Copies of this chain bind each other. A is one copy, B any other.
Amino acid sequence: MARPSGSDAGVTGPRVRDAAERLFAAHGYAAVSMRAIAAEVGIGAGALYHYTPDKQTLLFQLMRAHLEEVIAAWAETDPKGAPADRLDAFARFHIQFHLDRPEAVFIAYMELRALEPDNFAVIETLRRRYEAILRDILAAGVAAGEMQVADVPLAANALIAMLTGVTTWYREGGRLERGEVETLYAQMALGAVGAQKSSAKTF
């Protein structure tokens, strides 16, 4: 399609977002300068402003894109079966997504406080929508008698925190394979709410 000149348009933009994601996750939004992002990309600081109007918008768009992606991805993963099986699938999905995109996830949970009020409201709505998925699963599990959960919102918060925490210690190539980690976290999640997979039921 022969661009008139210069370097790869449509390539630097994603590289800027990748660099920002990596650095925000590693050091925190407030601790990362636009100069540092530019240096990571290999351009001058001024050139960044062709790709984002400002630093805050860069953060906001990273967070929004991630949350919209995770919500959409779950919609395609949801097995829509028995609540215990959905919880198993949700735990595995959440772990998988977090291990695939640890930086984006870390930012989405940790940098809420760095958002300006209008941006915060948008992100908070998306975050609540994602957490509502788990609350719905737990509520269905209680209704079906498959789970013992005294307080659904509390249990959902506790499970999300547990699952999200995987990013703080898991490193590729370590002692455990990803599949093992998924399985173990899913087992703990089921156990925490007194559930078991339908395939494990004794009739």
Chain A residue total in the interface (Cβ 8 A): 36
Decide if A198 is an interface residue (CB 8 Å cutoff).
Answer: no
Decide if A122 is an interface residue (CB 8 Å cutoff).
Answer: no
Over the window 148-191 of chain A, the binary record of Cβ atoms lying under 8 Å from chain B Cβ atoms (1 yes, 0 no) is: 00110011011111101110110000001000110011011101
Expressed in whole angstroms, the Cα–Cα distance for A160 and B166 within the complex equals 11
- Residue from the list B31, B160, B185 in contact with A158, Cβ < 8 A: B185
- Residue from the list B110, B113, B166, B176 in contact with A26, Cβ < 8 A: B113
Expressed in whole angstroms, the Cα–Cα distance for A176 and B113 within the complex equals 24
Decide if A194 is an interface residue (CB 8 Å cutoff).
Answer: yes
| B192 close to A189 (CB less than 8 A) | yes
Q: For residue A120, give the distance in angstroms from its CB to the closest CB of chain B.
A: 13
Chain B neighbourhood of A110, CB < 8 A? 110
Chain B neighbourhood of A168, CB < 8 A? 157, 161
Give the residue among A27, A114, A154, A157 with the most B Cβ atoms within 10 A.
A154
Interface, chain A (partner B; CB < 8 A): 26-31, 110, 113-114, 150-151, 154-155, 157-162, 164-166, 168-169, 176, 180-181, 184-185, 187-189, 191-194
Which 9 A-B pairs rank lowest in CB-CB distance, beginning with the nearest? A161-B165, A30-B31, A162-B162, A30-B30, A188-B192, A192-B192, A191-B192, A191-B191, A158-B162
